[in-house]
Structure 1
């Protein structure tokens, strides 16, 4: 669904090579569908077996990996525990989560909270409210999903609402300064930079973005960005509901509530709109 991040540059000047290799090893283990052996890991990562063994021994000593009876390795729950602590201490995420409950209840819809990871130019699904286990969005957008900010998600035909909402909340100069980069990403998609710019302009005029991607034909929804005290967008609040049987009145109510709750999150984070 999204492109893999490039390998960490453990051979880059100024970085600790051993620590970098340990991070690469941990990340690779987290993506393995089954416990992996030293030979498999060595071949996959281009490291010597002795290097992989030493790193695994260190990670196991600190409780980050588990070694089974067949001498194969997998990440331990320590990895998850650290991630949960980060999740729990995200101020923007927790503030948004509090408001998402009210939005899901009043709009009778599913709500996604997406946070920005500017360091990697990605958006990360932080949490969801009201998603039934069998709902297709749970399969397509599991918690923790990372998607690019500036390019179409693999398998989709257009940008999705939370991407547009986030871009629309950023200064216009950032979109224009990335024109060449965005155009390269769109070369094989049939879309253009001008098409993205039109989506962004529409979202700014309306105060929300609407679903555009073709991944789910029977799903509607809107998305609104929220900001921190500096005015920078830090995340997006999205509504999702089944298209079948939806009425114009429901659409308008959902759009209004989405904007209202996104603005509430921004105020709670210290943003004061000068307008």
Structure 2
């Protein structure tokens, strides 16, 4: 009887804590740090930042170099290679972005009545990988597989703003004019990207096609990296008072919903 009372009051046995491989976890920590660093890092700097010994950091860096994930510079600093990006890209490609984005795109199409695009970055352009056609007599049109410059359209500007610190240098000399509203100076683009980041959506005021505006918001992976963008393309003749802020809020909400779905995929 006493034993039964004791058993009823006892806590269920706890599962033993999951054991992590110390070497692997430290190596991944170094790789993550280098992948997100704005520039190459030294052994001493990494050791101090991560709370590891210099000998441990050096040994792990040599392993990462041998595997192709890290590259040593001439001044004995280290940086992540594009192999890290390729592995991440392969993971992303296994996620069917079109399926995940489809419900949000349908809602966005119903609420705006305009053409909805799903776009991803390719070089200095965006590629449209899916769309929902407008139901209006006057509508914008781009085919699936069509492209547009990053700096000219809502989807492109949204993606560009999300990774502008890495893309800015590449944009210099490539700000091609398409209409009299196209941003063609890096200073103007700096200001536009700061504004886009602050408000969470991008606006194209007819910068790629005369008389057609577009509004875009980035779709992000859980770590914040943009994987694509949703956009609403609207002929200016269709816009009424109050439409623009409403559409901007709707596209941002839709992109946020797809980003959340990605985090649960």
Under a length normalisation based on structure 2, what TM-score does the superposition of the two structures give? 0.55
1:109 maps onto 2:104 in alignment: no
Structure 2 gaps, min length 5? 1-92
2:263 alignment counterpart: 270
Greater Cα offset, 126-135 or 218-227: 126-135
Which of 239, 251, 254 in structure 2 is aligned with 1:258? Answer: 251
Q: Residue 142 of structure 1 aligns to a residue in which SS?
A: coil
2:63 alignment counterpart: none
Task: Measure how far apart 1:226 and its partner are.
Answer: 0.6
1:185 alignment counterpart: 174
The question of whether the paired residues in 1 share the 8 Å contact of 2:118 and 2:231 is answered with yes
Q: Residue 173 of structure 2 aligns to a residue in which SS?
A: helix
2:31 alignment counterpart: none
1:95 alignment counterpart: 100
Aligned length in residues: 168
The question of whether the paired residues in 1 share the 8 Å contact of 2:206 and 2:212 is answered with no
Task: Measure how far apart 1:104 and its partner are.
Answer: 0.6
1:210 alignment counterpart: 203
Between the aligned partners of 1:137 and 1:108, the Cα distance in structure 2 is: 12
2:131 alignment counterpart: 128
Q: Residue 244 of structure 1 aligns to a residue in which SS?
A: helix
Between the aligned partners of 2:102 and 2:176, the Cα distance in structure 1 is: 37
1:229 maps onto 2:222 in alignment: yes
Between the aligned partners of 1:182 and 1:129, the Cα distance in structure 2 is: 30
Between the aligned partners of 1:233 and 1:194, the Cα distance in structure 2 is: 23
Between the aligned partners of 2:176 and 2:116, the Cα distance in structure 1 is: 32
Task: Measure how far apart 1:92 and its partner are.
Answer: 1.7
Q: For residues 133 and 90 of structure 1, do their structure 2 counterparts lie closer, same or farther at Cα, with a shift above 3 Å needed?
A: farther
Between the aligned partners of 1:193 and 1:231, the Cα distance in structure 2 is: 24
Task: Measure how far apart 1:188 and its partner are.
Answer: 8.1
Between the aligned partners of 1:244 and 1:112, the Cα distance in structure 2 is: 19
Q: For residues 113 and 267 of structure 1, do their structure 2 counterparts lie closer, same or farther at Cα, with a shift above 3 Å needed?
A: same
Higher-Rg structure is 2
Q: For residues 201 and 188 of structure 1, do their structure 2 counterparts lie closer, same or farther at Cα, with a shift above 3 Å needed?
A: same
The question of whether the paired residues in 1 share the 8 Å contact of 2:155 and 2:202 is answered with yes
Between the aligned partners of 1:233 and 1:207, the Cα distance in structure 2 is: 12
Between the aligned partners of 1:109 and 1:186, the Cα distance in structure 2 is: 27
The question of whether the paired residues in 2 share the 8 Å contact of 1:93 and 1:115 is answered with no
If asked which structure has higher relative contact order (CA below 8 Å, sep 6+), I would say 1
The question of whether the paired residues in 1 share the 8 Å contact of 2:117 and 2:231 is answered with yes
1:143 maps onto 2:129 in alignment: no
**Per-residue displacement from partner, 1:207-235 (whole Å, max 9, x unpaired)?**
21111444433323311011122321011
Task: Measure how far apart 1:98 and its partner are.
Answer: 2.1
The question of whether the paired residues in 2 share the 8 Å contact of 1:221 and 1:238 is answered with yes
Please provide the CA RMSD for this pair. Answer: 2.9
**Per-residue displacement from partner, 1:23-76 (whole Å, max 9, x unpaired)?**
xxxxxxxxxxxxxxxxxxxxxxxxxxxxxxxxxxxxxxxxxxxxxxxxxxxxxx
